[in-house]
Structure 1
Amino acid sequence: MNDPTALLAELVRIPSVGGSQGELLIQTRLAALMRSAGLEVDQWPLDLDALTARPDFPGMEAPRSQAWGLVGRLPGSGGGRSLMFNCHVDVVPPGELSAWTDDPFSGKVDGGRLFGRGSCDMKGGLAAAVTAVLSLQDVRPRGDVLIACVVGEEDGGLGTYALLERGWRADACVIPEPTGLAVVPAAAGALTFRLRVPGRAAHAARRGTGVSAVEKFLPVFAALRSLEARRNAAADPIFDRWDLAYPIEVGTVAAGDWASSVPGELIAEGRIGVALDEQPGQARRALEEAVAAACAADPWLAAHPVAVEWWGGQFLPARTGDEAFVKAVIAATGGDAAQWAAPYGSDLRLLTAAGIPTVQYGPGDVDLAHGPDEHVRLSEIHEAARTLVRLAADICG
């Protein structure tokens, strides 16, 4: 089997932050690699205007003027089922650079681990999938094996949405997201919200004549924490490994425009987890009602209520109903892989909604994703690649 280490290091060194030029460059590099390896390649520009105008578009947070779809196909010898490996190539920004030990896009190998933004989420899984597909060329399964490289997963699911719109399908799919080599047949959803908290601007020296939007945000934030506790009181047991199955978090807060002024508005953006089998409208109403209750308890907010807006990525919860496929993936791991549900949204919901049995299985610890010194163990990448080869032999024949 080919060594995926050099490939992973090269991919990490391409800073494919969502919406950046790197997101385009990595697709070009992967397309060239697939063509040179003899795969059939479909590479196409996404019609962003048409896709984003569709009523079921899943949302997009990173601004893009262009994006590309990419599928590599290893054609089968005939008569077998098809299997897709769905891999997102986009990564989140590296954040505060001083928090990193090295360049966040170094691809450095140290102690059996490869470091860099995206190494865990999910270029390690991408490298494992590419390695597996190239290894299968010598045995050529009866069914097709596809590797789909998609953009925009981190901010809504643009790439997989476009992939399905183009007509690509398979009889089953593995998303090699970082699961620590566990098998993940279900994922919670996540909805992105924005809160506009009103205040009244004034000179800070006369703050009593104003109303601080920062101060008025505090009871609203407390209400969100209380809502989170209630929504997690009876989570599905498949989430038992997590302290919170359906987290609610405020990720950005901005208020005021001058240090010596009472801030007249605060804007907070965050996400709310959507429970398995919960409709997104139920989650929206729960948050809106919690915010409204906090406003009603405060005289200022009762007269000037917080506005709730829904924007950006809208990830629905999903679970795979095909138990036979789940068991096949577990068997391909050697039969002793753990099984749990993910507390975060993913493209699993788009693929299962299209009728494609899908699980997440891949190298890396999700706790390292999106953080400084992100890394993945090379031994897990090798094991994941071997598992994907065994699975393809089983599913595709």
Structure 2
Amino acid sequence: MDLAELSAAPGFPGSEAPREEAWGLVAGTPRHADGPTVILQGHVDVVPAGDLGQWAGDPFVPRVDGDLVHARGAADMKAGVAANLAVLAAIQASGVRPRGRVSGHFVVSEEDGGLGAFGTLRRGHTGDACIITEPTASTLVTATAGALTFRIEVPGRSAHASVRDSGASAIDAYQPIHAALALLEARRNLDPDPLMAEYPVPYALSVGTLRAGEWASSVPDLLVADGRLGVRLDEDPAAARDELEQCVAAACAEHPWLRHHPARVSWPGGQFASGRLPAGHRLGELVAAAHAEVTGGPRPVEHGAPYGSDLRLYAGAGVPTLHYGPGDVRLAHGPRECVSLAETVQVTRTLALAVLRAAGTD
């Protein structure tokens, strides 16, 4: 992928991980007749392991314990990627001839914005429906919230710590802003969409990093807070950004130091809009019916997810999209990340049935 061209393109979703190159893979079955293209999509990037002392072993060496595979990325989402590859291999080995095309999209950079999906779609690799095998614990996720990375730079005035009253601590100045952000989060989570109502905080606002000061005996003259603002379903990301900026400005206006030295808000990194499968689209019915048939149980629960994903990029390109995959997202990004082998096989069988029915067969 041409990183310079993509970063300058309209709608660039942002990125946070430094990279000098990016690669994607698109492959699929031959088209034998005039049928639809059904996409199986998965991202191959993972987040850092974090504190290695909290892991039972090397996070990048898979450890099998009974039915579970433990490793960073096992659930998010190497199991989903493996399922997609297995479906494509099974279709090829079976000799079944889909009338349309079953296509696999394997992308990078989902965790920090969606550069891989963005570039894949810009190359013209689209379709009539898409299943992203994110970890959904075999449920149907038909809508995802958005997430916008923000940065707040709070100025101070340096001074020797022994005469701190002659300076202005950026740490002290940040505190009323942090309190205002908590109130903003509470307001933004009133009356959520029914698909998100199961979550205590469906649209979380979280500050992830704070950096301030350069010397213990100096009053800090700058604090930088990086965080994540949840975007409500169907909300314009520009409106969400404006609401946070107004919140920070209002907090500054009430503070004696910040009133004359206001904090600065910027939006680096990933910018995830929300997205959803169109109401009543047959893709949800096909996957639900295939799941019930494969498992011999009830149809999977349908709900939304409180995180951003590549779903919104495919939906924005006019490709109806949902999530259905193995693994529990509550274990993702943590030291207990694992996935069930039996569930992965079950999801793979469901996907094979669903995509063949969606693409049609001779």
- TM score, norm. by length of structure 2: 0.95
Task: Using the TM superposition, give the Cα deviation of residue 269 of structure 1 relative to its aligned residue in structure 2, in angstroms.
Answer: 0.4
The equivalent of 1:117 in structure 2 is: 72
Aligned to 2:267, the other structure's residue is in SS state strand
Letter in 2 for 1:339: E
Aligned to 1:93, the other structure's residue is in SS state coil
The equivalent of 1:333 in structure 2 is: 291
Q: Which whole-Å CA distance do the structure 2 matches of 1:329 and 1:272 have between them?
A: 31
Instruction: Specify which of 52, 56, 60 is matched with residue 11 of structure 2.
Output: 56
The equivalent of 1:131 in structure 2 is: 86
Instruction: Specify which of 150, 158, 170 is matched with residue 115 of structure 2.
Output: 158
Q: Which runs of 5+ in 1 are unaligned?
A: 1-45
Q: Which whole-Å CA distance do the structure 1 matches of 2:16 and 2:215 have between them?
A: 28
The reply to whether residue 146 of structure 1 matches residue 103 of structure 2 is yes
Q: Deviations over 1:273-306 (max 9, x none)?
A: 1111111111011111111111122111111111
Aligned to 1:178, the other structure's residue is in SS state coil
Letter in 1 for 2:339: V
Aligned to 1:302, the other structure's residue is in SS state coil
Q: Which whole-Å CA distance do the structure 2 matches of 1:65 and 1:227 have between them?
A: 37
Letter in 2 for 1:105: F
The reply to whether residue 204 of structure 1 matches residue 161 of structure 2 is yes
Q: Which whole-Å CA distance do the structure 2 matches of 1:208 and 1:90 have between them?
A: 48
Task: Using the TM superposition, give the Cα deviation of residue 329 of structure 1 relative to its aligned residue in structure 2, in angstroms.
Answer: 1.5
Q: Which runs of 5+ in 2 are unaligned?
A: 293-297
Task: Using the TM superposition, give the Cα deviation of residue 152 of structure 1 relative to its aligned residue in structure 2, in angstroms.
Answer: 0.7
Q: Which whole-Å CA distance do the structure 2 matches of 1:320 and 1:86 have between them?
A: 15
The equivalent of 1:324 in structure 2 is: 282
Aligned to 1:299, the other structure's residue is in SS state coil
After TM superposition, which residue ranges in structure 1, 4 or more long, deviate above 4 angstroms? Answer: none
Instruction: Specify which of 320, 336, 346 is matched with residue 357 of structure 1.
Output: 320
Letter in 2 for 1:63: P
CA contact (8 A) 1:141 1:392 kept: no
The reply to whether residue 301 of structure 1 matches residue 258 of structure 2 is yes
Aligned to 1:245, the other structure's residue is in SS state coil
Q: Deviations over 1:306-358 (max 9, x none)?
A: 10011111111111115222111111111510111111111111101111110
Q: Which whole-Å CA distance do the structure 1 matches of 2:59 and 2:157 have between them?
A: 41
Alignment of structure 1 residues 49-88 onto 2, 5 Å: 49-88=4-43
Letter in 1 for 2:320: P
The reply to whether residue 228 of structure 1 matches residue 185 of structure 2 is yes
The equivalent of 1:344 in structure 2 is: 307
CA contact (8 A) 1:74 1:144 kept: yes
Which deviates the most, 328-337 or 350-359?
A: 328-337
Q: Which whole-Å CA distance do the structure 1 matches of 2:276 and 2:161 have between them?
A: 52
The reply to whether residue 369 of structure 1 matches residue 332 of structure 2 is yes
Q: Which whole-Å CA distance do the structure 1 matches of 2:173 and 2:323 have between them?
A: 41
Task: Using the TM superposition, give the Cα deviation of residue 77 of structure 1 relative to its aligned residue in structure 2, in angstroms.
Answer: 3.2
What RMSD, in angstroms, separates the aligned Cα atoms of the two structures? Answer: 1.2
Identity %: 51
Letter in 2 for 1:56: G
Letter in 2 for 1:221: H
Q: Which whole-Å CA distance do the structure 2 matches of 1:179 and 1:333 have between them?
A: 13
Q: Which whole-Å CA distance do the structure 2 matches of 1:69 and 1:129 have between them?
A: 15
CA contact (8 A) 1:224 1:248 kept: yes
Task: Using the TM superposition, give the Cα deviation of residue 262 of structure 1 relative to its aligned residue in structure 2, in angstroms.
Answer: 1.3
Task: Using the TM superposition, give the Cα deviation of residue 394 of structure 1 relative to its aligned residue in structure 2, in angstroms.
Answer: 1.0
Q: Which whole-Å CA distance do the structure 1 matches of 2:55 and 2:162 have between them?
A: 40
Aligned to 1:312, the other structure's residue is in SS state coil
Q: Which whole-Å CA distance do the structure 2 matches of 1:298 and 1:311 have between them?
A: 26
Alignment of structure 1 residues 15-30 onto 2, 5 Å: none
The reply to whether residue 274 of structure 1 matches residue 231 of structure 2 is yes
Q: Which whole-Å CA distance do the structure 2 matches of 1:96 and 1:212 have between them?
A: 31
Task: Using the TM superposition, give the Cα deviation of residue 76 of structure 1 relative to its aligned residue in structure 2, in angstroms.
Answer: 3.8
Task: Using the TM superposition, give the Cα deviation of residue 102 of structure 1 relative to its aligned residue in structure 2, in angstroms.
Answer: 0.9
The equivalent of 2:295 in structure 1 is: none
Give the number of aligned pairs: 352
Task: Using the TM superposition, give the Cα deviation of residue 128 of structure 1 relative to its aligned residue in structure 2, in angstroms.
Answer: 1.1
Structure with more contact order per residue of length (Cα contacts < 8 Å, sep ≥ 6)? 2
The equivalent of 1:263 in structure 2 is: 220
Alignment of structure 1 residues 84-123 onto 2, 5 Å: 84-123=39-78
The reply to whether residue 396 of structure 1 matches residue 351 of structure 2 is no
Aligned to 2:179, the other structure's residue is in SS state helix
